[in-house]
Structure 1
């Protein structure tokens, strides 16, 4: 796999638009509290033009303050691309609010529907752990998923996620980023 995690770039404009159409077709713009849903609602009318897309890339390419019900959290975004093909994204929340500690976690990720079931989510999350640890100083990393999302649960566990508990419909996992970055296997809780 030659895909890599990079800062947002205008070089993937055409495939990004196709990916957003895929996300829209599955209703991603209506997911409550999702940064992707917010961006779909806010930016999709401007993405089609080169200038509008460049403005969007400039916005998500830096550290954004992401509004949460209980406060604003700095957020960084990286894209998972293969050449000029946009495959997905990772959002890093630099700190946790009480709601993020319960439901959202430090990292959120999404693979475009047309690229799923090819190992991209696992590779993307693995590539994100050194960024969380070395660039953002986050260790361990909290990653959550819906209790019905078996694929995401398997991704988190494959990346060293240690199950802590379930809160409402969310499964909560901690990944020791330093150990994962060094290629060590974390100790599993029983």
Structure 2
């Protein structure tokens, strides 16, 4: 049974396995990983986890037993960054896709957004990422636009949070 857990150094090995499965690059949205983060060593990983827990965003890892299956974040930092990346970002490791984990985690994070008083949230995904687009649409996402960015075309969705 998967859980959403706050980032912890106790999952270093499991997190690295998930990260390595994605391959090189920064494409695990939801983890809050940046190019300057050094997560391979225990000290670097501990520093990164500490920074995540101090950030204004709510970061959660999808964990099942001793495996990290993905990550999700509710961002509340600078408005400009949220307009670019969205309020919520998520990523599921390749071997765990197709099991509904992204939908489940997104529903949990939408509840967190409601509890923070948000009336709607923005989610952004690459235009060609049809799996994420379908996950967002199933959660009530309404396509605002397709937009060309410096990183390629993206889909921008709003999910209203009123009951």
Q: C-alpha distance in 2, partners of 1:173/1:7?
A: 26
3-state SS of paired residue (2:128): coil
Q: C-alpha distance in 2, partners of 1:14/1:34?
A: 18
Q: Where does residue 9 of structure 2 map in the other structure?
A: 10
What do you get for the CA RMSD once the two structures are aligned? 2.5
Asked if residue 164 in structure 1 is aligned to residue 161 in structure 2, the reply is no
* TM-score, normalised by the number of residues in structure 2: 0.82
Q: C-alpha distance in 2, partners of 1:41/1:96?
A: 19
Q: C-alpha distance in 1, partners of 2:39/2:81?
A: 27
Assess if the C-alpha contact under 8 Å between 1:75 and 1:93 holds in 2: yes
Residue segments in structure 1 that go unaligned for 5+ positions in a row = 65-73, 180-190
Shift of 1:34: 9.0
Assess if the C-alpha contact under 8 Å between 2:120 and 2:160 holds in 1: yes
3-state SS of paired residue (2:46): helix
3-state SS of paired residue (1:8): coil
* Higher RCO structure, 1 or 2 (CA under 8 Å, sep 6+): 2
1:53 maps to which of 20, 33, 45: 45
Q: C-alpha distance in 1, partners of 2:80/2:131?
A: 26
**Of the two, which has the highest radius of gyration?**
1
1:79 maps to which of 36, 61, 72: 61
3-state SS of paired residue (1:43): coil
Q: Where does residue 124 of structure 2 map in the other structure?
A: 144
Shift of 1:111: 1.0
> In the TM superposition, what are the counterparts of 1:30-179 in structure 2 within 5 Å?
36-38=32-34, 41-46=36-41, 49=42, 51-62=43-54, 64=55, 74-95=56-77, 97-98=79-80, 100-101=82-83, 103-134=84-115, 136-168=116-148, 169-179=153-163
* TM-score, normalised by the number of residues in structure 1: 0.72
Assess if the C-alpha contact under 8 Å between 1:15 and 1:84 holds in 2: yes
Deviation >4 Å, runs of 4+ = 33-37
Residue segments in structure 2 that go unaligned for 5+ positions in a row = none
Assess if the C-alpha contact under 8 Å between 2:30 and 2:90 holds in 1: no
Q: Which structure shows the higher helix fraction?
A: 1
